[in-house]
Amino acid sequence: MRDEASKLAFLGGGLAGVIIAVLLWWAMPGGAPKQLPNKLAREEIVSMSTTAQAQLADDEKARMRELLQQRPETSGDDFDRQVWVADLVNVIANRTPDPGEVSRIAGLVHRYATRFGLSPELVLAVMAVESNFDRFAVSKAGARGLMQIMPFWKQDIGSTDDNLFDIETNIRYGCAILKFYLDRHGKMADALAAYNGSLGNTKYPLKVFDRMRHFKASAGDLRS
């Protein structure tokens, strides 16, 4: 009996040692993965992810700078743009109290989306999801304006003097960035996820596509 009691005591002591060792390993830096603090804002995670996903090569930066510097032609698209703006202006009029600003936003979305080979309704949908048409919106991560452009893009592809709260500047950047991601990934769903800093996740693209269908229907254009 004494031998059996000694064996049990030995086993119990060994098990306790293993438990203590595991707990110490868990607490050490580099041990078991820890849960992210609840106070770490989603926008901060998106910001880090977006920065990592951008990583432009020198030739890509040069190409994007070239695109940003080129202003779209205005003569050829005036009629189509005016018709499109007239159709959409009432749809987004309740998002901002300034009717002139609504028309300006819609007109510039059409002009730059067309310039970059994007669907105007898609760009409008990104804007709706990102800022709800608030030109002065600022996220916790520091993204600015209608299309929520991160300031690092100014240094990468534009000028540090660019004002991301300016309507035309913001739309121009947003369309160029979307075009860049579309060229890089080949699929609009992936391009949208990369734009949002959530590549591999379908939640954001689906939300944008849903808004895009709404704007297409409002504009009387149900083509894909």
Catalytic residues: 130
Sign of dihedral through CA atoms 72, 74, 79, 82?
Answer: positive
Q: Which residues pair with 149 in a beta bridge?
A: 144
Q: Can you tell me which residue has the tokens 């499109």? A: 84
| Close Cβ partners of 25 (under 8 Å, ≥ 6 residues apart) | 31, 32
Q: Is residue 200 within 8 Å of 211, Cβ to Cβ?
A: no
Distance of CA 82 to the CA centre of its chain: 28
What are the phi and psi torsion angles at 144 (to 5°)? -125, 145
User: 114: burial class by Cβ within 10 Å (0-12, 13-18, 19+)?
Assistant: buried
Which has the closest alpha carbon to 111: 66, 69, 72?
Answer: 72
